[in-house]
Structure 1
Amino acid sequence: MRDKIQSVSKSRLNTELFPYKLYVKAKKFGIWNPEDIDFSQDRLDWETLTEAEKKNILIQIAQFAGGEEAVTIDLLPLVMMIAKEGRLEEEMYLTTFLFEEAKHLEFFTRFLEEVVGSKEDLSRYHNEAYKKIFYEELPAAMERLAHDQSPEAQAIASTTYNMVVEGVLAETGYHAFYSGVGKLGKLPGLLEGISLLKMDESRHISYGTYLLQRLIKEHGDHIYNVITNRINELMPLCIGSITNGKNPDEHIQSGVKTFGVDNNDMLEFAKKQMNVRLDILKRARENNLEEVLNIEEEPVLQ
């Protein structure tokens, strides 16, 4: 039973709140259709790739598509929790968030079906560190919100989803993909879709840093410690996923590259991604609540 209808009450919608601004941006920039992307040249290009190039791309697509499916499934408990708390502006944005994750999954599915054409089981490219994050840690953190809406549970869920999965793993993967595949001068449809996808992800990550800042301001430095502890738990798994489970130093010294991108560069990019967002969260400990709730969108590193 609800006690009021916010949109017609004296408070109305708070159109100055950051999540509402993200909602407006999502309507403007997020309405792209995976079915509109032309894969005709990609099909031709695919036949010109070496077997090694095809395998490298399939490894990345297996991780991208698997990640997009996971985050599509796992987001719903957060949406329901925010709705239960009566945060209407945040819920409005999260409806676009979930829609976009589903589109990302559709995009990679189209590429596999219409360009690759093979029905092989690509989950064999999910290494143990990847599985630990996407098969265990992410769903567990998000599903916990169904029965535990504590600030600590919210912080762990958002840190896992927004800071680590999206902010580190996905962004690092797209960085490597662009740096490597972009140099081939091929697969224009795939690159176009990933460019659009990255714009969506920048809003997702921005919402996550907003949510974590809000939790820090509402519940104190204890939440900041929860966030950093969770990051410390997951970062070794991130490194294992990026380096395919090998010791980073050995992996780098062996000269192994992904699409011609040195894994040392990938690890440095991942660390930079995390440090940028930790700096944002540190500011939440210094700013007042109003500044946090109306914070401007943070750019995602390219």
Structure 2
Amino acid sequence: MTRWSTLLLDDASLAQMPELPVDHVLRHADLVTAQQPKPQALYERWEKQQWNAQAIDLEQDRLDYEKRLPRDARKALEESIATFIIGEYTGLDLLAPILTGAPEEIDHLYLGTQIADETRHTQLMLRLGEEVLGLDPDPKRMLVQAWNMCTPPHRALSRLETEIIREIQHRPSDYEAWLRTVALFHLISEGVLALVGQRAIVRSLHDIPMLPGVKAGFTAMCRDESRHVSFGLHALRQGVREGYTEAICDVIEQAAPLALRIEEGGAVEDAPEGTSMRDLGIDSLRRQLRLIGVDDVFAEHVVGLVTRPAPAEGH
């Protein structure tokens, strides 16, 4: 097994990221979360891992998308970027009340860094939408275009996010409501949906001599995600120890099946034969539930919900 080194993704510059060994990028978040870093350590990692969304040159990516990518690959890229346009932008809405309701001062300080990350990610996605996909340059109109490209489960998850946001907005000092929001955003939206989607894009593009800007941006986002997910697992681990398991599991039970159906059935290039996006999401969910101290019985219960027929949108 190849030895993992922090000198690879941890210390890589934006320019170096497209050339990193793909297995190191894909394993990075799991290795960071396994260390169970505390918020202060995550803050310090953030200080060392800055990157500039405006510095990524997308001219070659635009040419690759318009002239070199096969039709099926173009459609897959469009759908992935549309999902991230909505996901990163709405993440800002979730993080504001999470920041306000943070129970400890160091949580508050760390979450300020994550808001900066989500803003950077949103800016990159808006650039990809405009400069690569050719979507409307006005963010409001682009968000409508991206929303219309999203799957019904993604829309349902966004509606659930809105409901959970209202809970914490009405009760900003309610620790249980705060944990429910963290469970939805950090464990499901970030740890299952975003991290798996980012990894799938990096894996699919790693040995293709195209889309260097997309590769660099999504690799940088994978590194950021290792901090985001680590914070969520730290907070939820504390919540489980303090007796809030039922509230945390209630949100996961509602949200995980939606997240795991968003790209249901989509194959991931270079993954083990037969592996789908849903399979990778289930693996991520199981691992994170173990890290916060939730037993495997609940994890298998949630996985079982995913195998049921999905309800029609609006029901």
Q: Which residue of 2 aligns with 1:20?
A: 40
What SS is found at the alignment partner of 2:68? coil
CA 1:229–1:186: 2 relative to 1, 3 Å: same
Q: Which residue of 2 aligns with 1:35?
A: 54
Q: Which residue of 1 aligns with 2:106?
A: 89
What SS is found at the alignment partner of 2:210? coil
Quick one: which amino acid aligns to residue 205 of structure 2?
V
Q: Which residue of 2 aligns with 1:273?
A: 284
Q: Which residue of 2 aligns with 1:113?
A: 130
What is the CA–CA distance in structure 2 between the aligned matches of 1:275 and 1:139, rounded to whole Å? 25
What is the CA–CA distance in structure 2 between the aligned matches of 1:122 and 1:159, rounded to whole Å? 25
Quick one: which amino acid aligns to residue 76 of structure 2?
N
Q: Which residue of 2 aligns with 1:160?
A: 184
Deviation (angstroms), 1:203 = 0.5
Q: Which residue of 2 aligns with 1:197?
A: 221
CA 1:116–1:280: 2 relative to 1, 3 Å: same
Task: Tell me how large the CA RMSD over aligned residues is.
Answer: 2.2
Q: Which residue of 1 aligns with 2:165?
A: 142
Tell me the alpha carbon deviations over residues 6-64 of structure 1, each in whole angstroms, 9 at most, x when there is no partner. Answer: xxxxxxxxxxx9211111111111x2111111223212212212232212111000001
Deviation (angstroms), 1:150 = 2.8
Tell me the alpha carbon deviations over residues 37-93 of structure 1, each in whole angstroms, 9 at most, x when there is no partner. Answer: 1223212212212232212111000001110001012210111112xx4x2211111
Quick one: which amino acid aligns to residue 285 of structure 2?
M
1:73 equivalent to 2:119? Answer: no
Tell me the alpha carbon deviations over residues 145-169 of structure 1, each in whole angstroms, 9 at most, x when there is no partner. Answer: 1222333212211110011100001
1:109-258 matched pairs, under 5 angstroms: 109-119=126-136, 121-134=145-158, 136-148=159-171, 149-217=173-241, 219-220=242-243, 223-243=244-264, 251=265, 257=267
What SS is found at the alignment partner of 1:242? coil
Range 141-150 or range 97-106, more displaced: 141-150
Q: Contact between 1:75 and 1:142, CA under 8 Å: does it hold in 2?
A: no
What is the CA–CA distance in structure 2 between the aligned matches of 1:20 and 1:138, rounded to whole Å? 27
Q: Which residue of 2 aligns with 1:50?
A: 70
Segments of structure 1 that go 5 or more residues without pairing to the other structure are: 1-16, 244-250, 285-302
What is the CA–CA distance in structure 2 between the aligned matches of 1:93 and 1:147, rounded to whole Å? 23
Which protein has the larger Cα radius of gyration, Structure 1 or Structure 2?
Answer: 1
Segments of structure 2 that go 5 or more residues without pairing to the other structure are: 1-36, 137-141, 296-315
CA 1:34–1:263: 2 relative to 1, 3 Å: farther
What is the CA–CA distance in structure 2 between the aligned matches of 1:225 and 1:185, rounded to whole Å? 48
Q: TM-score, normalised by structure 1?
A: 0.76
Q: Contact between 2:85 and 2:146, CA under 8 Å: does it hold in 1?
A: no
Q: Contact between 1:53 and 1:259, CA under 8 Å: does it hold in 2?
A: no
Deviation (angstroms), 1:263 = 7.3
What is the CA–CA distance in structure 1 between the aligned matches of 2:164 and 2:121, rounded to whole Å? 22
What is the CA–CA distance in structure 2 between the aligned matches of 1:169 and 1:264, rounded to whole Å? 16
